[in-house]
């Protein structure tokens, strides 16, 4: 099966499974989405969603978040991984957005990636989900599935992102980002599939019998 044929099957199957994928991180505005994405690094969306309602209730804007102070922010998020560093990043990011960007979340990669705790993936998620810009954020699920589905060599997440952008229509990037994540969590998990077990892997590679060796991000 040619790669272009696999791409069509992936689009069709994911559209059938997840026609209207919701943003998995709870938020109330662009700023709280940014904070939620910062918190999600090396943490599950489920855990982030458990701790953010109270944090966002008292710190829904850069000014109010900054006024909480570093210690209060830490106390509200200490249940998740890397909480000390994340609390510093959120505190500093709130101050910078308040003073440098007039309390508005930047809508471009350069300014977003200048913020503490905001790398390319975080910036891509914010650009896609807050501003509707066409991006293709690559997390561990997407990196894993892209290799199992023969869409990338998987050398690194940057290469995976570039390969996916070349294969899929730009108007589908933001939706596919969520659809692939959901599929990876539900069907093609890290331990539950090895490239030969889930129905998408079997359909794309019906003759594959050996597990796919993955390059981790």
pLDDT of residue 154: 82
Q: C-alpha distances in angstroms, 142 versus 63, 70, 145, 178?
A: 35, 33, 5, 9
pLDDT tens figures, 14-54: 999 999 999 999 999 999 999 999 999 888 999 999 999 99
CATH of the domain at 110: 1.10.340.30
Looking at 78, 105, 131, which one is the last position of a domain?
A: 131
Q: The whole model's pTM is what?
A: 0.90
Q: With bands split at pLDDT 50, 70 and 90, how would you rate the model's confidence at 134?
A: very high
pLDDT of residue 15: 98
Q: Is residue 184 part of a domain?
A: yes
Q: What number of other Cβ atoms are within 10 A of residue 46's Cβ?
A: 8
pLDDT tens figures, 3-13: 999 999 999 99
| Out of 15-19, 141-145, 192-196, 212-216, least confident range | 212-216
| Out of 66-75, 183-192, 208-217, least confident range | 208-217
pLDDT of residue 89: 98
Task: Determine the structural domain holding residue 40 and report its residue range.
Answer: 30-131
pLDDT of residue 187: 96
Q: Do 156 and 99 lie in a common domain?
A: no
Q: Is residue 66 part of a domain?
A: yes
Q: Do 75 and 141 lie in a common domain?
A: no
pLDDT of residue 46: 93
């Amino acid at each position: 099966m040619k790669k272009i044929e696999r791409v069509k099957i992936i689009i069709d199957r994911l559209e059938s499974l997840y026609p209207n994928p919701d943003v998995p991180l709870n938020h109330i505005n662009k700023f709280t989405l940014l904070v939620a994405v910062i918190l999600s690094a090396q943490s599950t969306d489920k855990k982030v969603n458990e701790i953010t309602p109270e944090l966002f209730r008292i710190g829904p804007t850069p000014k109010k978040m900054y006024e909480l102070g570093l210690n209060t922010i830490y106390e509200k998020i200490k249940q998740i991984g890397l909480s000390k560093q994340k609390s510093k990043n959120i505190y500093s990011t709130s101050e910078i957005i308040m003073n440098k960007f007039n309390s508005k979340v930047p809508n471009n990669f350069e300014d977003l990636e200048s913020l503490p705790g905001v790398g390319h993936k975080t910036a891509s998620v914010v650009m896609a989900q807050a501003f509707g810009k066409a991006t293709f954020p690559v997390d561990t699920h997407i990196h894993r599935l892209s290799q199992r589905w023969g869409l990338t060599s998987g050398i690194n997440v940057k290469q995976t992102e570039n390969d996916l952008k070349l294969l899929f229509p730009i108007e589908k990037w933001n939706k596919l980002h969520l659809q692939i994540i959901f599929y990876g969590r539900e069907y093609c998990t890290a331990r539950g599939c090895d490239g030969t077990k889930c129905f998408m892997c079997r359909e794309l590679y019906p003759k594959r019998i050996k597990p796919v060796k993955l390059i981790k991000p």
